[in-house]
Amino acid sequence: GKTTTLYAGLRWIQETQPGRSIQTIEDPVEAAIPGIVQTQINDAAGMGFLEGTRSLMRTFPRVILIGEIRDKETAQQAFTLAMTGHLVLATLHTGGTLKTVDRLGDLGVSRHLIAEYLRGVYAQRLIRQVCPHCSTPYRLDEDQLAMQRYGALYHHPHGNDDFRREGPGCNDCGQAGYRGRVLLTELLVVDPATADAIEGGIASRKIAETRRAEGDPNLWDRAFGLARAGTTTLDEATRVLGPLPAYGRTFSRGREDGLV
């Protein structure tokens, strides 16, 4: 789903800022976009993401898509491009929006540069939907009720809770109990307060706590909204997202400490 999201962003830029030069470095180029110069990397020929971004600078693009930041050199090159006035879009494997700050730090990017030039992070996961034909309603057990209290930040707009369990399978879902997938999203806009916290060395976990307390839902909050609506299950959310974080700890530890 990452490429679909990135391509949608590029098309939006084309529509809202016509004539702006856009180039990409990808592995592979998954779909041609008219009006955009797309380059596929070839590691065997010595054309990786780093070499690709260096070569395209000769043509002075305004917007650059780097398919994936895999190493320190590419991360530092991406921020060098941002420092020289380019809009850079890229993907990075992390556990969530604020985890991106930690990952970039691991790749040698200073907190000062992150705070100064990172504009936003969009995290997404695909989660399975329960089959509407064979799924069944159920009552939450003690652990799940505590999980529900943690997820109380995000209330589904359609009313009452309708927690469901995947069914035994039927012809409509190919005996899987699930049918189709839906997108979980989390958006971090690096506002001045967040930038100051990043540059000040505050742990990303603490920044995430503050933002959530101020009403910014995280991936688990979004998953709870879907579970409450009967769209997916808490088991599926745990499979996709891992153990529920409770203020930086695993959910079970959070219960023991009275955090949830």
Lowest mean pLDDT among 112-116, 191-195, 200-204, 222-226: 222-226
**What are 83-128's pLDDT values in tens digits?**
999 999 999 999 889 999 999 999 999 999 999 999 999 999 999 9
Extents of the domains making up the chain: 1-91, 125-260
pLDDT: which is higher, 193 or 252:
193
Residue range 125-260, CATH number:
3.40.50.300
Q: Return the pLDDT at 151.
A: 64
Please name which of 225, 214, 229, 221 lies closest in space to residue 246, comparing C-alpha atoms: 221
**What are 31-80's pLDDT values in tens digits?**
999 999 999 998 888 888 888 888 887 788 999 999 999 999 999 999 99
Confidence of residue 259 (pLDDT cuts 50, 70, 90): very low
**Residue 27 in this model has a pLDDT that exceeds 50:** yes
CB atoms within 10 A of CB 52: 24
Read out DSSP for 81-128?
A: HHHTT-EEEE----SSTTHHHHHHHHTT--HHHHHHH--EEEEEEEEE
What is the spatial distance between Cα 30 and Cα 15, in angstroms, rounded to a whole number?
A: 21
Q: Return the pLDDT at 245.
A: 61
Please, what's the b/e burial string for 179-205 (b: 16 or more CB within 10 A of its CB; e: otherwise)?
Answer: beeeebebebebeeebbebbeeeeebe
Q: What is the mean pLDDT of residues 17-26?
A: 94
**What are 149-192's pLDDT values in tens digits?**
766 555 444 445 778 888 889 999 999 999 999 999 999 999 99
Distances (CA, A) of 26 to 23, 32, 38, 180: 10, 11, 7, 28
Note the maximum CA span of the chain. Answer: 61
Q: Return the pLDDT at 253.
A: 45
1-91 shares its CATH topology with 125-260: yes
Q: Return the pLDDT at 212.
A: 86
Residue range 1-91, CATH number:
3.40.50.300
Q: Return the pLDDT at 160.
A: 58
Helices (H), the chain: 2-16, 49-56, 72-83, 99-106, 111-117, 142-150, 192-199, 204-213, 219-228, 234-241, 251-256
**Residue 244 in this model has a pLDDT that exceeds 70:** yes
